Amino acid sequence: MYFLEDSDNSEDTAQMTQEKLLEKYKNSRKISVGIPNDNKFPEYEKRVPLTPQGVKLLVDGGNEVVIQSGAGLAANYSDNEYSEHGAVIAESMSQVYDSDIIIKVAPFTEKDTDLMKGNQVVMSYLNILRLSEEVLNKLIEKRVTAIAFESLRDVDGSLPIVESMSEISGVTSILMASEYLSNYLGGKGVMLGGITGITPTEVVILGANTAGKYAAKAALGLGAQIIVFDDSLNKLRQFESFIGHRVQTSVFHPQVLSKALLSADVMIGAMELDDLRPWYYVSEDMVRTMKRGAVIIDLSIDRGGCIETTECRTLAEPAYEKFGVIHFSAWNLPSRVARTASMALSNILCPLIQNMSDAGNTTTFLSHNPGTRQGVYLYNGILTNETLGSKFGMMSKNLDFMLSVY
């Protein structure tokens, strides 16, 4: 792999503590981090994984950051800002792909894999539903160690990138719903609420998770009336604690949900879907009963969606009408607020990359970071993700076992 390997066999590294290992490898040599330009197709992706401030932290840590010209423009970060913070500005993608670590937001494409030199660490969203077997096979051929943003876990077991983007998605979904209810985008011309003497709109939220919590908080702040559904009573209790006062909640009783949808102006789908099997909490028949001009936003669409009538769309054409109901189902909603989302990504990724650099080699780093191991789907070109193996009929291997024999 790309780091300087340990040549001192006098010490039994298997018995060393993590702190001693990190101290042993610290500053062994700098690594290079490459950031290609995802913004050549801004209708698909506007976020950038590292902000100029994040770049400075890595450069100050002894690393080199190579960023393709224009990579931050859609998030309102100029080449000059990156250069002033220590980045090398590259005109060509090939120069970026010579780096030890390649990091981008959009999933890797066949063009990306063609430019990889091989034996690198590559990080991005995986978006398993949209991943093609051709791209996966090319990544395997390049013998890369590939890490998926959405599977990275923190020391407490949480999913830091998923949680952060869910917070952004929850708030943004309510702002988007407000736009589609307005005359500006051909809606009914109503506000969410907060106007004296006028009945507030009704917002149905599916999921008492992070996205649902932040959607509810935003909706309540704008004066809407909400009802929240989830299949876990414990989550509903935690939801009320987060909001700070009692709100209307319910488990998924079909009759209660159907009744709520009859009068709903907005429905936010925020359910966490654990696998790739379709699981619709709201059927097509339920959508047919909703008011004309109502708005549906499915935040679960990147995992297949929790509403039967939603389709996975890009930000180029995120909305469509079905049964008189406006559907918004772009899979990368945080890209609508690219600068905020980029800051959140950078805050998470910078420490991780610096820790990888300090560890000295990939094996050492992964051996002592179980949360990052959860995000690895290829290790030196070997498939380690069972879900991908099942999807494409490939054999996968256990990463923990492989690391234990090194």
For the segment 187-231, what is each residue's pLDDT rounded down to a tens digit?
999 999 999 999 999 999 999 999 999 999 999 999 999 999 999
pLDDT band at 276 (very low <50, low <70, confident <90, very high): low
Is 61 domain-assigned? yes
Is 342 domain-assigned? yes
Q: How many CA atoms lie within 13 A of 352 on its CB side?
A: 26
pLDDT band at 25 (very low <50, low <70, confident <90, very high): very low
* pLDDT for position 227: 97
Whether residue 3 has pLDDT greater than 80? no
81 and 193 share a domain?
no
37 and 113 share a domain?
yes
Q: How many CA atoms lie within 13 A of 204 on its CB side?
A: 30
Among residues 285, 308, 331, the one where a domain terminates is: 331
324 and 275 share a domain?
yes
Among residues 312, 331, 350, the one where a domain terminates is: 331
Whether residue 43 has pLDDT greater than 70? no
Among residues 311, 331, 351, the one where a domain terminates is: 331
d(CA 390, CA 213): 33
* pLDDT for position 130: 84
288 and 365 share a domain?
no
61 and 145 share a domain?
yes
Give the chain's domain count: 2
H runs (alpha helix) in 199-249: 210-221, 233-243
**310 Cβ contact list (under 8 Å, min separation 6):** 269, 296, 298, 301, 327, 329
344 and 396 share a domain?
yes
What whole-number percentage of the chain has pLDDT above 70? 90
Compute the average pLDDT of residues 35-55. 89
32 and 108 share a domain?
yes
Q: What's the token pair of residue 37?
A: 């330009």
Is 4 domain-assigned? no
367 and 254 share a domain?
no
Supply the CATH number for residue 127's domain: 3.40.50.720
Bridge partner residues of 229 (DSSP): 206, 250
Q: How many CA atoms lie within 13 A of 298 on its CB side?
A: 31
113: nearest Cα among 127, 99, 97, 125: 97
Is 2 domain-assigned? no
185 and 307 share a domain?
yes
Sole residue written with tokens 């559907």:
327
CB-based burial label for 233 (10 Å; 0-12, 13-18, 19+): exposed
Residue 250 backbone dihedrals phi, psi, to 5 degrees: -160, 150
* pLDDT for position 15: 45
Range of the domain at 21: 13-151+338-404
Q: Tell me if 28 sits within 8 A of 364, measured CB to CB.
A: no
What tens digit of pLDDT does each residue of 320-374 get?
Answer: 999 999 999 998 899 999 999 999 999 999 999 999 999 988 999 999 999 999 9
Is 189 domain-assigned? yes
* pLDDT for position 239: 96
Residue 269: strand, helix, or coil: strand
133 and 84 share a domain?
yes
Is 57 domain-assigned? yes
pLDDT band at 316 (very low <50, low <70, confident <90, very high): confident
137 and 196 share a domain?
no
Is 7 domain-assigned? no
232 and 124 share a domain?
no
* pLDDT for position 10: 38
Is 157 domain-assigned? no
